[in-house]
Amino acid sequence: MLNGPCFTLFLAVLVLAPLPLGSNREWSWNLLVASLAGISLLWALGAVLRPGRISASLNPVLILGFLVVCAWAALQAWPGAPAAWHHPLWALDAEVLGESLAGSISLAPDDTWTALLRLAAYGLSFFLAFQLCRDPRRARRLLQVLVGIGLVGAVYGLAVYWSQSDRFLYFWTLNHRAIVRGTFVNANHFATWVGLCLMCLLALSYQAVTRPRRNPAYTIPGGKDEVFEAFLSRAWKYLAILLVLVAALILSRSRGGFGATFLASVVFLLCVRHRGRSVGVRVKTLVISALVVGGAVFILTSEVLLSQIDATPDDLRFRMNAYELAADGVEDSPVLGFGYGSFEQSFKLYRDDSINGLVDKAHNTYLENLFELGWPAALVLFACVAWLALICLHGVRTRGRDWVYPATGLAATTLVATHSLVDFSLQIPAVAVTYTALMGAACAQSHSTRGS
């Protein structure tokens, strides 16, 4: 009964999340968390009234694993954790100050509570999408909305790039840079987000050229000219959007974002090859057309990306130094960690003269999670994400007509998992909530269910 309004509100959150600098400001991520919590409560009310609408197809072990990670992060920030587990720096500070301090495992408990709150919100995003997108029509609608907002963000970013405007959304003034970053401060985060939207576009374009016509008077084209004309009538909109998204992606100058999106596209096309043999010419025409459009955009805009690649050595040297120092921290506290979300404060214990400037992120999400959570909890978190990818892989292999949704989820996980090796896009609320929503819909469509 309340699923319809909940879904509408959820889509509104996905649309608005990227606008205030990727929701990467305290007020915006608090608003995002509160909105998802409110929608979840509304959904829970509807579930109480109509319990038959609840999907219980997720393995309880997966849910338990996520809750264990959340519980461990809370324990890290809690002063009531065993005193022997508290970081020694708390006792040292108390001795220097000459007063008693409420210590904890985390060196920055306030930051740990904030990071935990955001992680819980991403879990709610996945859960809502999983429950609300059991109907393939809603799953398709979610993809359409993500493509739409992705197009708006890309067009805005290109407009700012070509106009050389330094007025960001007319609310924030930022130094102009010759890159496309849409509504995000950092172009790498924008690249991940627009890459996720591009995966949705690939899914919708595949559906557009393969679904049968509803008009009973329509006859299948016979000659090559008729087939090509029919293809263009269905696919031209998607190819035009593809041109804009690829241009924005390349002009973001994000090496990692471009490479990860390319790899994710290959994964999606491999799924098409595995499941789309029966559609023959239309699928081949779609793939060739997409490659031609993408190749043309790359040729026209690749100069900026190639110039960024030329600048790689210095940046790589800086990151490798940071990686080595962070790895030292992991060795010093392999089980307890330094506190979820505390990397900026904790890393100060290890930085040396090889690091210049502020280092608030490790630029490697895996290493940063190991540093903050410790090996056991971090591996559980990684396993949860891998489990979701396996659910999607199962859906690609076993689902009938709706296999394209789990294929999108598998490609999206490939994208974020690859880019997380060299960046921290998943720590940006708008990117994380987009990914978790997409995965919720993909996992919901990985099982044969009735629409809600």
Mean pLDDT of 155-166: 84
Q: What is the pLDDT of residues 31-69, one digit of tens each?
A: 999 999 999 999 999 888 876 667 767 899 999 999 999
Mean pLDDT of 202-224: 64
Q: What's residue 194's pLDDT? A: 97
State how far the Cα of 281 lies from the Cα of 265, in Å rounded to an integer.
20
Q: What is the DSSP letter of 80?
A: T
126 vs 352, residue with greater confidence: 126
Say how many C-beta atoms besides its own lie within 10 A of residue 295's C-beta.
12
Under the banding of pLDDT at 50, 70 and 90, the label for residue 98 is: confident
Is pLDDT at 226 greater than 60 in this prediction? no
Is pLDDT at 215 greater than 60 in this prediction? no
Q: What is the pLDDT of residues 372-421, one digit of tens each?
A: 999 999 999 999 999 999 999 999 999 887 999 999 999 999 999 999 99
C-beta separation of 327 from 368 below 8 A: no
Q: What's residue 302's pLDDT? A: 58
Q: Tell me which long-range contacts 291-300 makes (C-beta under 8 A, separation of at least 24).
A: 293/239, 293/242, 293/243, 293/246, 294/242, 294/246, 296/243, 297/243, 297/246, 297/247, 297/250, 298/246, 298/250, 300/247
217 vs 276, residue with greater confidence: 276
State how far the Cα of 372 lies from the Cα of 182, in Å rounded to an integer.
30
Mean pLDDT of 344-352: 91
Q: What's residue 160's pLDDT? A: 86
State how far the Cα of 293 lies from the Cα of 299, in Å rounded to an integer.
10
State how far the Cα of 340 lies from the Cα of 431, in Å rounded to an integer.
19
Q: What is the pLDDT of residues 284-311, one digit of tens each?
A: 566 666 666 666 656 555 565 556 555 5
Q: What's residue 217's pLDDT? A: 43
C-beta separation of 343 from 372 below 8 A: yes
C-alpha distance from residue 279 to each of 210, 273, 282, 286 (Å): 7, 10, 6, 11
Under the banding of pLDDT at 50, 70 and 90, the label for residue 213 is: low
Least trusted range by pLDDT, from 132-136, 153-157, 224-228: 224-228
Q: What 3-state class would DSSP assign to 153? A: helix
Q: What's residue 119's pLDDT? A: 97
C-beta separation of 182 from 18 below 8 A: yes
Percent of the chain at pLDDT exceeding 90: 58
Q: What's residue 153's pLDDT? A: 95
Q: What's residue 413's pLDDT? A: 98
Under the banding of pLDDT at 50, 70 and 90, the label for residue 102 is: confident
Q: What's residue 42's pLDDT? A: 95
Give 284's Cβ-side CA count (13 Å radius): 7
> Which DSSP helix (H) or strand (E) runs through 436?
helix 429-444
Strand partners, 173: 167
C-beta separation of 69 from 377 below 8 A: yes
Amino acid sitting at position 20: P
Under the banding of pLDDT at 50, 70 and 90, the label for residue 113 is: very high
Residues contacting residue 204 through CB under 8 Å, at least 6 positions apart: 140, 143, 144, 147, 238
Residues contacting residue 136 through CB under 8 Å, at least 6 positions apart: 402, 405, 445, 451
Q: What's residue 96's pLDDT? A: 76
> What is the average pLDDT value for the chain, to the nearest integer?
86
Is pLDDT at 234 greater than 80 in this prediction? no
Mean pLDDT of 245-266: 91
